[in-house]
């Protein structure tokens, strides 16, 4: 008789999957994922499952939020707009770190948790999760209101 999967089994499996996908993306577009590589990734359906365009616009974002994808229709196939805070328009080299954190929502929807976002982004960028988390915190500091990735406090 086969063992039934628990919610924890599914969570661990998803996290392993996002890590593997992130490593594949890094191998394909790395070693450095910059603005040009991010643009290529967004067009590559093996990296980003559904159409996703970037727009620098804070209006759809929550206070302190650096980026967030918004569905453009009822079906994921209708695509997403990844809204990125305009503060980062002059920091294009940093935008991939911000967008990669949010891409798990495009690829996996509500099934993805903050841990998956951290795992995926770090794997895409080819850095440790600790280094990635620290970098996100640094990038978020100018936004100011204490909203950090993963719900933890960044110094």
Tokens matching residue 40:
């290529």
Tokens matching residue 85:
């805070």
Instruction: Tell whether 108 is covered by a domain.
Output: yes
Instruction: Tell whether 3 is covered by a domain.
Output: no
Residues in the chain: 155
Instruction: Tell whether 4 is covered by a domain.
Output: no
Instruction: Tell whether 1 is covered by a domain.
Output: no
Quote the pLDDT of residue 57.
97
Bridge partners, residue 53, by sequence: 81
Instruction: Tell whether 155 is covered by a domain.
Output: no
Domain with 71 in it: 10-148
Q: Check whether the bond before 31 is cis (ω within 30° of 0).
A: yes
Mean pLDDT of 23-51: 97
Per-residue pLDDT tens over the stretch 96-115: 999 999 999 999 998 899 99
43 pLDDT band, cuts 50/70/90, is very high
Rounded alpha-carbon distances, angstroms, from residue 25 to 8, 17, 77, 123:
26, 12, 21, 8
Which is higher by pLDDT, 106 or 1?
106
Provide the pairing of β-strand 67-71 with 80-84: antiparallel
Instruction: Tell whether 153 is covered by a domain.
Output: no
Tokens matching residue 87:
């503060």
Instruction: Tell whether 65 is covered by a domain.
Output: yes
Q: What average pLDDT is seen over the chain?
A: 91
Rounded alpha-carbon distances, angstroms, from residue 83 to 5, 43, 51, 62, 133:
35, 16, 14, 11, 20
Is residue 83 over pLDDT 70? yes
Could you give the number of structural domains in the chain?
Answer: 1
Instruction: Tell whether 109 is covered by a domain.
Output: yes
């Amino acid at each position: 008789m086969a063992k039934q999967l628990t919610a924890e089994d599914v969570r661990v499996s998803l996290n392993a999957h996002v890590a593997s996908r992130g490593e594949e993306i890094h191998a394909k577009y790395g070693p450095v994922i910059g603005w040009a590589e991010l643009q290529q990734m967004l067009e590559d359906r093996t990296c980003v499952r559904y159409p996703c365009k970037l727009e620098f616009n804070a209006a759809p974002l929550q206070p302190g939020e650096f980026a967030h994808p918004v569905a453009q229709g009822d079906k994921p196939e209708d695509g997403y707009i990844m809204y990125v805070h305009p503060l980062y328009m002059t920091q294009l080299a940093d935008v991939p770190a911000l967008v990669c954190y949010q891409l798990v929502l495009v690829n996996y929807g509500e099934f993805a948790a903050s841990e998956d976002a951290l795992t995926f982004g770090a794997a895409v960028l080819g850095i440790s999760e600790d280094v990635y988390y620290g970098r996100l915190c640094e990038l978020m500091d100018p936004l100011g209101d204490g909203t950090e990735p993963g719900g933890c406090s960044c110094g």
